[in-house]
Amino acid sequence: MFKTIAIASDHGGYEYKETIKTFLAENFSDITIIDCGPSDTQSVDYPDFAQAASGKIDAGEADGMILICGTGIGISIAANRYESVRAALCTDVTMARLTRQHNNANGLALGQRIIGIETALDIVRTFVTTEFEGGRHQRRIDKINVKPN
């Protein structure tokens, strides 16, 4: 399980970010949460907040992150620009479980305009409690980390 999770959103994901922070605090007291913003629903640019959370992964200050925007697409693209990040956009618990088991994803992206909050919380619970299986999956992760020629 993750020890420290950075969480960030844009204005389109702010409500879910706040609800997820409360959910994590109430259900996973052993996880430290780093809020990377924003602090309200004023319009902001998702790459700024994806970068803030991804920077925590890069610096070793967090071992996991949760990102929320309107669809989850833009914020996941921005986060995956970081070499140490494997952020997966998930819309159901099966995706969340498999991305942890098979891809060792350290980032979860959600779309506030795409899924309901109860689904989002089920996805978060699954993401933070599922472990990487290793084995043949590690070989595949190693291939992802190879820089193209």
Tens digits of per-residue pLDDT, 40-51? 999 999 999 999
**Cβ contacts of 56 within 8 Å, gap of 6 or more:** 4, 6, 34, 36, 62, 65
Domain coverage including residue 25 = 4-144
pLDDT at 149 over 70: no
Annotated catalytic residues are 69, 102
Q: Do the domain assignments include residue 78?
A: yes
Q: Do the domain assignments include residue 135?
A: yes
- Domain count within the chain: 1
Q: How confident is the model at residue 148, as a pLDDT?
A: 64
Measured CA to CA in angstroms, residue 91 lies from 18, 124, 139 at distances of 19, 11, 26
Residue 63, CB-side half-sphere exposure with 13 Å CA sphere = 11
Distance CA 117, CA 123 (A): 10
Q: Do the domain assignments include residue 101?
A: yes
Residue that is written with structure tokens 């960030």 in the block:
8
Q: Across the chain, what does the average pLDDT equal?
A: 96
Q: Do the domain assignments include residue 149?
A: no
Residue that is written with structure tokens 């590690």 in the block:
138
Domain with 82 in it: what CATH number?
3.40.1400.10
For 84-140, write each residue's pLDDT tens digit: 999 999 999 999 999 999 999 999 999 999 999 999 999 999 999 999 998 899 888
- Which amino acid makes up residue 71? T
Q: Do the domain assignments include residue 121?
A: yes
